[in-house]
C-alpha cells in the first residue's frame, strides 16, 4: 500500500498520542504530548481552509465561547486558579484544533487506508505486549526507555500488578499499562467499525480476548458494550431476520461476559467491595464525592474549566463542616478518569447542555437520530477509560468516533 505524506503524519501523530511525551520549556512549564501536537499542527496547515467551513467554524468558536464563559462565571476559591484555568483553555484550544486536523486527514485518506493503519497498530501493540511479557531483554529495554524519556507519572506499581493479575502488566514504551490497553480498545473498536474485511467479527473477538489475557486490563472489557452500541441496528436486524428471541440471547451473553470478568478480576472485585482497592478509591470514590459536593454548590456552570482546586476546596470544607477533618485531602487534585464526568464538573449542568447542543447543531448536523444516540453513548462508554476534557487523547477519540459513525451504513 502506497502511503501519502498525510498518512505518514497521521501515523506519527498517533505514535505521539500513545507515547504522551512532554517537552519542558522551564522546570515548571511544559508542553504535554508535544509530538502529537506538532504533527497535528502540520496537518492543520494542510487543511486550513476546511476550518472556515461554516459548521466547523461555528462549532469551534462557540465551544471556545462556552469555555471562556465557564471561566468568567467560575468561583475563585484557590490562589492562582485563574492562571491554571487559562493554561487549560490554551490546551483545550490546541486539542480541538488538533482533533479537527485529524478529522480532515481521516476524511482525505478514506476508510480503506485508515482501517489498514489501525490494523497495523493493533498488531504492533499486541506483539509488543507479548515481547514485554515473555522476553526479559525487551522488558528491560522498555523499562529503560520509560525511565529515560519520561520525566514524571511513570508507572511504578509492579507489585500491585502481581497481586491483582499475577504478572507485571506490559506497558510497551508508554507511561503505564492503562495507556496500552486504552489504545488497543480504540484501535480495535474503530477498525471493526470502518473495515470491510469479511471475517472482522471473528478477528475482533480474537483480538479482544488475546488483549485481555496479555494485558490483564479491565479496560479491554469495554470493547464489548462499545461494539454492541456501534452495531445495535445490525444486531437488531439479525435477530429479526433469523427470528432469534433476543432476551434469552442477551442473558446468555451477559452471563458469559460476567463470568469472564469474575474469572480474570475476582481479587480486585473483592478489594473494591471492601474499599481496599486504592485505584478504585482514587478513581471513583473520592472523585465521585468531590463531584457531588461541587455540583451541589455550583450546579449551573460548575467550578469552571480547569478549576479542579475549586472543587477540592469545596470537598475539604464540606468534610470539615461534618467533622471529618481526618479525611481532608492536602495534595490530591481530583482526577475523574472520565472526560464526561469532568465536563459536568467543569461546566455544570447548563454548560454541558450547551456543549451537547453545539455538537448536535453543528458537528452532528448530518447525523440521524440513531447515529447521534450511538455517538453520545459510545463517547460516554469510552470515557470510562479515562481522559481529560482538555486532553488531546480525548479529542482524538471524538475525531475517530465521528469519522467512524459518519461512515456507518445503518439500514
Confidence (pTM): 0.86
Return the pLDDT at 198: 87
Nearest of 228, 318, 220, 230 to residue 261 by alpha carbon: 220
β-bridge pairing 30-31 and 23-24:
antiparallel
Return the pLDDT at 399: 96
Q: Please check whether residue 401 is in contact with residue 230, taking contact to mean a CB–CB distance below 8 angstroms.
A: no
Residue 411 lies in a domain: no
The per-residue pLDDT for range 160-171, each reduced to its tens digit, is 777 777 788 898
The per-residue pLDDT for range 212-255, each reduced to its tens digit, is 889 888 888 888 888 888 887 777 776 666 665 555 666 666 67
Q: Report the number of distinct structural domains present in the chain.
A: 1
Return the pLDDT at 301: 85
Return the pLDDT at 337: 67
Residue 256 lies in a domain: no
- 5: its cell numbers: 505524506
Cα gap 305→91, rounded to integer Å: 11
> What's the rounded mean pLDDT across residues 139-151?
86
The per-residue pLDDT for range 71-116, each reduced to its tens digit, is 998 887 777 788 888 989 999 999 999 999 999 999 999 999 999 9
Model confidence at 318, in pLDDT bands (50, 70, 90)?
low
Residue 193 lies in a domain: yes
> What's the rounded mean pLDDT across residues 327-336?
54
Cβ density class 117-138: b for 16+ within 10 Å, e for less: bbbebbeebbebbebbbeeeeb
Return the pLDDT at 223: 87
Residue 101 lies in a domain: yes
Cα gap 378→398, rounded to integer Å: 10
Nearest of 126, 175, 130 to residue 153 by alpha carbon: 175
**Residue that wins the pLDDT comparison between 165 and 379:** 379
Residue 261 lies in a domain: no
In degrees, to the nearest 5, what angle opens at C-alpha 232 toward C-alphas 228 and 234? 115
Q: Lowest-confidence range among 212-221, 258-267, 297-306, 352-361?
A: 258-267
Return the pLDDT at 330: 55
Nearest of 346, 283, 282, 292 to residue 315 by alpha carbon: 292
In degrees, to the nearest 5, what angle opens at C-alpha 16 toward C-alphas 116 and 158? 100
Q: Please check whether residue 229 is in contact with residue 377, taking contact to mean a CB–CB distance below 8 angstroms.
A: yes
Cα gap 309→79, rounded to integer Å: 9
Return the pLDDT at 248: 66
Return the pLDDT at 403: 95
Boundaries of domain holding 209: 5-233+297-309+330-406
Cα gap 210→126, rounded to integer Å: 8
Strands (E), 21-140: 23-24, 30-31
Cβ density class 286-318: b for 16+ within 10 Å, e for less: bbeebbebbbeebeebbbbbbbbbbbbbbbbeb
Confidence check: pLDDT of 3 > 70: no
Residue 320 lies in a domain: no
Distance of CA 341 to the CA centre of its chain: 12
Look at the block and give the residue holding cell 497495523: 120
**Residue that wins the pLDDT comparison between 246 and 290:** 290
Residue 379 lies in a domain: yes
**Residue that wins the pLDDT comparison between 298 and 242:** 298
DSSP 169: P
Confidence check: pLDDT of 340 > 80: yes
Return the pLDDT at 250: 61
> What's the rounded mean pLDDT across residues 307-320?
69
Tell whether the torsion through CA atoms of 34, 37, 43 and 48 is positive or negative. negative
Residue 304 lies in a domain: yes
> What's the rounded mean pLDDT across residues 242-271?
63
> What's the rounded mean pLDDT across residues 40-44?
95
> What's the rounded mean pLDDT across residues 306-323?
68
Q: Lowest-confidence range among 50-64, 152-166, 357-371?
A: 152-166
Amino acid at each position: 500500500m502506497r502511503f501519502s505524506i498525510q498518512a505518514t503524519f497521521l501515523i506519527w501523530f498517533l505514535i505521539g498520542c500513545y507515547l504522551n511525551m512532554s517537552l519542558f520549556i522551564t522546570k515548571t512549564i511544559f508542553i504535554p504530548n508535544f509530538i502529537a501536537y506538532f504533527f497535528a499542527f502540520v496537518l492543520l496547515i494542510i487543511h486550513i481552509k476546511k476550518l472556515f467551513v461554516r459548521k466547523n467554524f461555528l462549532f469551534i468558536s462557540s465551544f471556545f465561547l462556552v469555555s471562556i464563559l465557564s471561566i468568567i462565571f467560575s468561583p475563585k476559591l484557590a490562589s492562582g486558579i485563574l492562571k491554571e484555568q487559562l493554561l487549560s483553555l490554551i490546551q483545550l484550544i490546541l486539542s480541538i484544533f488538533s482533533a479537527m486536523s485529524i478529522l480532515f486527514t481521516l476524511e482525505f485518506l478514506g476508510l480503506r487506508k485508515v482501517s489498514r493503519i489501525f490494523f497495523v497498530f493493533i498488531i504492533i501493540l499486541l506483539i509488543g505486549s507479548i515481547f514485554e511479557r515473555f522476553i526479559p531483554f525487551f522488558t528491560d529495554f522498555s523499562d529503560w526507555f520509560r525511565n529515560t524519556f519520561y520525566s514524571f507519572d511513570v508507572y511504578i506499581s509492579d507489585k500491585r500488578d502481581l497481586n491483582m493479575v499475577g504478572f507485571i502488566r506490559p506497558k510497551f514504551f508508554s507511561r503505564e499499562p492503562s495507556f496500552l490497553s486504552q489504545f488497543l480498545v480504540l484501535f480495535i473498536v474503530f477498525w471493526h467499525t470502518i473495515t470491510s474485511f469479511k471475517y472482522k467479527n471473528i478477528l475482533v473477538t480474537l483480538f479482544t480476548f488475546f488483549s485481555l489475557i496479555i494485558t490483564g486490563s479491565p479496560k479491554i472489557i469495554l470493547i464489548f458494550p462499545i461494539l454492541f452500541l456501534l452495531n445495535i441496528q445490525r444486531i437488531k436486524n439479525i435477530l429479526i431476520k433469523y427470528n432469534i428471541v433476543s432476551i434469552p440471547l442477551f442473558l446468555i451473553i451477559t452471563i458469559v461476559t460476567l463470568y469472564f470478568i469474575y474469572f480474570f478480576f475476582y481479587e480486585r472485585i473483592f478489594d473494591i467491595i471492601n474499599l481496599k482497592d486504592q485505584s478504585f478509591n482514587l478513581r471513583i470514590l473520592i472523585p465521585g464525592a468531590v463531584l457531588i459536593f461541587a455540583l451541589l454548590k455550583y450546579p449551573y456552570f460548575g467550578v469552571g474549566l480547569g478549576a479542579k482546586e475549586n472543587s477540592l476546596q469545596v470537598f475539604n470544607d464540606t468534610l470539615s463542616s461534618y467533622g471529618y477533618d481526618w479525611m481532608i485531602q492536602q495534595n490530591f487534585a481530583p482526577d475523574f478518569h472520565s472526560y464526561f464526568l469532568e465536563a459536568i464538573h467543569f461546566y455544570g449542568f447548563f454548560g454541558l447542555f450547551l456543549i451537547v447542543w453545539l455538537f448536535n447543531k453543528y458537528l452532528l448536523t448530518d447525523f440521524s437520530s440513531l447515529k447521534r444516540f450511538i455517538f453520545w453513548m459510545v463517547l460516554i462508554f469510552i470515557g470510562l477509560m479515562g481522559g481529560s476534557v482538555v486532553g488531546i487523547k480525548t479529542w482524538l477519540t471524538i475525531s475517530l468516533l465521528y469519522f467512524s459513525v459518519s461512515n456507518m451504513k445503518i439500514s
